Amino acid sequence: MKYLFSSISLILFIGLFSVSAQNKTNPNADNSDNTVIAASEEKVADEVKVYYFHATRRCATCEAVEAVSKEAITTYYGDKVSFESINREEKENNQIVEKYKISGTALLVVNGDKVEDLTNEAFLNARTKPAKLKSKLKSTIDSMM
């Protein structure tokens, strides 16, 4: 019974994030709707930003993704790289949610029009192998600077 529950949990976990990843469209696609983006979202060369999109209700893994990511960015980069946790269900965040075509939980590293999605790595490692997530964040950010 224990193995059945573990197997079902794993299948649901993988399915949830597979659906989330499939529902995202290319954030680099040309959006010709001329949506006004907040000044903080304007393209700035060599300014790497990390966005963690989440829902109002979060599980322990969701909270771990935020905590580990924030800690890694603060430790490795201080104020050179910004980290923003964004509740995708709040109206005030609609513009950035739409800009990156977010439909579920997501961890994105962004520099101008370059976007790297680290959602899968984040959820696989945040609780069990936080050092692996920190390393992945560092290598991704370094490659975008």
What is the dotted CATH code of the domain comprising 49-145? 3.40.30.10
Segments making up each domain of the chain, as ranges? 49-145
- The DSSP result for 57-99, as a single string, is S--HHHHHHHHHHHHHHHHHHTTSSEEEEEETTSGGGHHHHHH
pLDDT digit string (tens) for 50-84?
999 999 999 999 999 999 999 999 999 999 999 99
Give residue 31's pLDDT.
Answer: 44
pLDDT at residue 12 in the model? 44
Residue-level pLDDT at 17 = 45
What pTM was computed for the model?
0.68
pLDDT over 50 at 98, yes or no:
yes
- Residue 80's pLDDT is 94
CB atoms within 10 A of CB 81: 21
